[in-house]
Amino acid sequence: MTQPRAVKALLFDVFGTVVDWRSSVAVELQSALAPRGHQLDWEAMADDWRGRYQPAMQAIRSGARGYTILDVLHRENLDATLRAFGVTGLSEAELIELNEAWHRLRPWPDCVPGLGRLKRDFILGTLSNGNIALMVNLARFGSLPWDVILGAEITRSYKPSEATYLGSAAALGLAPGDCMMVAAHNEDLRAAQRLGMATAFVCRPTEHGPGQEVDLAPDGDWDYAAHSMQELADLLARA
């Protein structure tokens, strides 16, 4: 780790770092589809839906498609996942409700108390690929104490595009070095570090289920590494 430095704002990846998307989406899929007689591998279905996330954003990063919010991409990906699993016959209202599963993801148990402690000393904001409505609803659902919603929609770009990080810092009137990126994903931190942001890795070894093979440990020279938001709060309190 590098020597710690003073920062004014902590900016968080959300999906996987703050909220447990996999089990939350699996529960939502089961709740919506099991009463209709479907008996499916709900975790595999959640993985399939999430697996379409990066390719959908890459079309926008590459310039092949104009900026489109994540709610729309999630809906397109949901339609593809339902086809892949042989699910048909849902009404438009049911599809809309199911797509909003991403607005009802449960925080990891350490997050609300840990973020509450961090909020005493830092500006807390999202630096997520989620659109504003999604992030606001997720915060209200999970009692996440953000000061501000930043990231993809305000910059009209998706991580790891430089604009997503730099535009989020600029929206706060801060230089990149005044901000710390907090994420469970080493590549996210690498992109932020290249732009001068401080970095904190929070390990989420079950984000992708029991067979997870990536991001099991920090693999860069990050400023901090922790196993929970509570531990991160402890580390920053001692800095």
Residue 139 — very low, low, confident or very high, per pLDDT cuts 50/70/90?
Answer: very high
Predicted TM-score of the model (pTM): 0.96
pLDDT tens-digit readout, 48-78: 999 999 999 999 999 999 999 999 999 999 9
Average pLDDT over residues 202-213: 96
Rounded Cα distance, 13 and 172, in Å: 17
- Which residues, 6+ apart, have CB-to-CB distance to 112 below 8 Å? 142, 143, 144, 145
Mean pLDDT of the chain: 96
State what percent of residues in the chain have pLDDT above 70.
Answer: 98
Q: Provide DSSP, 197-221.
A: -EEEEE--TTTT-TT--SSSS--S-
The domains of the chain, with CATH numbers, are: 9-20+105-238 (3.40.50.1000), 21-103 (1.10.150.240)
- What token pair was written down for 97? 């409700």
Average pLDDT over residues 92-120: 98
Q: Provide DSSP, the chain.
A: -PPP---SEEEE--BTTTB-HHHHHHHHHHHHHGGGT----HHHHHHHHHHTHHHHHHHHHTTSS----HHHHHHHHHHHHHHHTT-----HHHHHHHHGGGGSPPBPTTHHHHHHHHHTTSEEEEEESS-HHHHHHHHHHHT---SEEEEHHHHT--TTSHHHHHHHHHHTT--GGGEEEEES-HHHHHHHHHTT-EEEEE--TTTT-TT--SSSS--S--SEEESSHHHHHHHHHH-
Average pLDDT over residues 17-39: 98
Average pLDDT over residues 165-177: 98
Rounded Cα distance, 108 and 142, in Å: 10
Average pLDDT over residues 167-177: 98
Rounded Cα distance, 107 and 221, in Å: 27
Predicted local confidence at residue 176, as pLDDT: 98
Residue 239 pLDDT exceeds 90? no
Residue 4 pLDDT exceeds 70? no
